[in-house]
Amino acid sequence: MNSKLLMIQGTSSGAGKSIIVTALGRILTNKGFKVAPFKSQNMSSFIYKIKDSSKIIANAQAIQSLACKANPNPNMNPILLEPLGNNESKVYVNGDFFAKMKAQQYYTEFVLKTGFRVALTAFKELQKDYDIILIEGAGSPAEINIQKYDIANMLFASSVKSPVILVSDIERGGCFASILGTMMLLKPSHQKLVKGIMINKFRGDNKILMPAIKKIESKTKTPVLGIIPKIDHNIPQEDSLDGNDIPDRDVRYQFIDKERNGIKKIPYSNNHSIKGTSSNGVNRFASNQSILNKEIDKFADTIEPFINFDYIMDKIINK
């Protein structure tokens, strides 16, 4: 199948990449497309165990697959890093434990020699079955200290020839500087992959942004395709810098438990049994899958009018 591609990158961690991919997945699925999420490399302590298997992926990609009404698949997140502290992580490949690695070892010995090939192979497998692949980037593509190793952003987009939409969080401040700075720090060939910009988490009247948007569009030669309002929701966030939620350090596994038709925060144990749940309100969300589906529908329905979806379909995805 000749899948259409769209990659969502951010000017920073916590810009809203995951939730926008979730919403776009539901919107496109409701329009009749067969859609899958993909993130080549994710670092997360919140992990989803795939039903009837020992394989795991990041919780965010499991939620995105639910939004796309697709079965979670290791190909949706072929490389998962579970942070252990002290600059070390467990590395999972295609859903299985691979090795413990320090950051330096991961970059110099694994990511380009093995990881990139693994990610591309998994991506090609997804392309066989889906009309549209929504690719999520990681952090920022402008981290110049690791750009040559960054297989989750422009290296991957360039390799699979995916158009990119860049998302910036205006709630943090410095939104327009971060958009312009990100574009300036990208290689010219990577700048050309950026086909649109979205401004996320805005509070107020869009009209006050128009002078700044015109200036950004002029300087980047890239259209702003959405000003997405700040929306309260109960869809789980990534456990990096997203929202105000700080990960519960005692919770290492959190996943959608389809066998119990619910969503649980599950602390780590060898048999993944429930030993308790987080009590600090971290990553607050609905208590069962049907309610999570309703939350995804509500969020997707809310943001769709704020996105120039016709442009995205005609000028980016279908071009």
Q: How far apart are CA 272 and CA 49, in angstroms?
A: 9
pTM value is: 0.86
- Let me know: does 43 contact 247? Beta carbons within 8 Å: no
* CA dist list (Å): 255 to 48, 153, 236, 261: 4, 25, 10, 11
Question: Could you report the per-residue pLDDT of 198-253, keeping only the tens digit for each?
Answer: 999 999 888 999 999 999 999 999 999 999 999 988 888 765 434 333 333 333 33
Looking only at the bridges linking them, the beta strands covering 88-93 and 79-85 are antiparallel
Percent of the chain with pLDDT over 90: 74
The whole-angstrom separation of Cα 161 and Cα 284 is: 37
Each residue's pLDDT, cut to its tens digit, for the chain (319 residues) gives 789 999 999 999 899 999 999 999 999 999 999 999 999 999 998 899 998 899 999 999 999 999 999 999 999 999 999 999 999 999 999 999 999 999 999 999 999 999 999 999 999 999 999 999 999 999 999 999 999 999 999 999 999 999 999 999 999 889 999 999 999 999 999 999 999 999 999 998 889 999 999 999 999 999 999 999 999 888 887 654 343 333 333 333 333 433 333 333 333 333 322 222 232 222 333 347 888 999 999 999 999 999 999 999 999 999 8
Cα distance between residue 126 and residue 247, in whole Å: 30
Residue 23 backbone class (left: φ over 0; alpha: ψ -120 to 50; beta: rest): alpha
Q: So what's the pLDDT on residue 51? A: 87
Residue 22, φ and ψ in degrees, nearest 5: -60, -50
In CATH, what number does 4-317 get? Answer: 3.40.50.300
Distance CA 225, CA 313 (A): 11
Q: What are the boundaries of each domain within the chain?
A: 4-317
Give the Cα separation of 75 and 92 in Å (integer): 12
